[in-house]
Amino acid sequence: MGPSWTINGTGPCREEPDRSRVLLVNCALLGFVCTVGVSSNVLVCWVAFRSKALQTTNNVLLVHLAVGDLLRCLLDSPLFLASLVLEVWQGQASIHLCFIQQFTFSLCSCAELLSLVAISVERYQAIAFPFKTKRTNWQTRTWTWILLVWVVSFFVAVLSLSLNRGDPTSYMMCAHLNLPRKSHVVDPFGAWVLVPIWSLSIAVITIHYLQIFMVVRRHANKVFDSGVQPRASIAKPEPAWTRHAPGLPLVESSANAEERAGWEEPNMPTGIVGAICILTPKAKELGKKRLEGKLAKRLGYIITVVIIFWLPLVLTLVLQEFVDCAKICGWLLCDLYSSALVVSCVPAALDPLIYTLLQRHFRTQLCKVFSTKPHC
């Protein structure tokens, strides 16, 4: 493994005399995540539980993602902010904060990634096989996903505490802080556990979304139904008084003959007078695929945001294994590392804003909740 960026108090990471500007920017960004993330995620959960129209199987995983983001904004980000504030004001953070923060960061990060994996898999199943699974099976699969996400996330969080033999000063979440080091070992959790989980999650998400776009594109130009073409003629209504009993001869008056002559077919070109739209099972399937495709496209924005904001941390963790910080500007890498950790928390505040603004059902329900008028 590569050498640690914070070898000792006089190492290259401590040569820069003033790092307060970077720390203040990171504190401001974490403050934004805490305030905006808590309010927006609470709002999404409240609207989803208040509105029966949003209490669908498709929205369960979205609300679950909002709950995971809310946990990050309530626990992980405030702890991260507290450690940075203590470093700015006191010059040293608390070791106990490192221990707790390592657990919460691992738990929330793994839960966020696995939730996005579950969303992508379920979106593909809903688009590719819209009518092959019963509603009860969808609900069972959804709750199984939720249970699996938190069990795996808890296991990964416990693993992150045990890989360094209980030394909080060498944890991944404390490598950028000014702490007395008991050892010079780099925490293997970042490069050997978190990065593979992120890479595998992104690979699964990408594969399923490529399949989603292929299915949607395949059905994009299909016509739902050609309709029913009736005969090009105008019906001739028969007066009620012309009905006669069977067996009796029909005497047709001259007035009746003239009236019948008035109902002759007009001289008009043959064409389609009207069409009846029949919603066949195939048409229902195509319509559901189009609707699910639009929803998958909106959820794709959330996944894109997560990839963009996680990429600096992943690259920095990989760089840590191959770069000797004693030979370059170590303080710069420390600042990049701390900033990458902060940036990876930003999607927790942006996710609810994205699917609230882009998804029409959430927008409509928000308007109904906050509007005093009967319609928004």
Can you tell me whether residue 276 is helix, strand or coil? Answer: strand
Q: Tokens for 196?
A: 């593979």
User: Which of 260, 262, 269, 263 lies closest to 232, judged by CA?
Assistant: 269
Work out the pLDDT band at 135, boundaries 50, 70, 90. low
Per-residue pLDDT, averaged over 31-37, amounts to 95
Looking at residue 177, its pLDDT comes to: 65
CA angle 223, 229, 230 (to 5 degrees): 160
Predicted confidence band of residue 3 (pLDDT cuts 50, 70, 90): very low
Q: At what angle do helices 347-358 and 360-370 cross, to 10 degrees?
A: 90
For position 139, what pLDDT does the model report? 83
- Mean local confidence (pLDDT), 159-163: 89
Phi, psi of 287 (to 5 degrees): -65, -40
Residue 22: the pLDDT is 85
Which has the closest alpha carbon to 325: 313, 334, 336?
334
The tokens for 92 are: 């040293």
Q: Is a pLDDT exceeding 60 seen at residue 359?
A: yes
Top mean pLDDT of 77-91, 97-111, 258-272, 314-328 is at 97-111
For position 328, what pLDDT does the model report?
54
Give the CATH class of 12-220+278-370. mainly alpha
Structure tokens at 66: 């909002």
The span from the CA of 172 to the CA of 52, in Å, is 43
Both tokens of 226, joined, read 């050609």
Q: Which residue has the higher pLDDT, 290 or 73?
A: 73
CB 42 within 8 A of CB 224: no
pLDDT at 110: 96
pLDDT digit string, tens, across residues 251-291: 555 555 554 555 445 555 555 555 555 556 655 555 555 55
User: d(Cα 353, Cα 293) in Å, to the nearest integer?
Assistant: 20
**Predicted pLDDT of residue 365:** 78
Long-range CB contacts (within 8 A, 24+) of 93-100: 93/174, 93/177, 93/178, 93/179, 95/168, 95/169, 95/174, 95/179, 96/168, 98/168, 98/169, 98/171, 98/173, 98/174, 98/177, 98/179, 99/161, 99/168, 99/171
Domain ranges of the chain: 12-220+278-370
CA–CA distance, 2 with 5 (Å, rounded to integer): 9
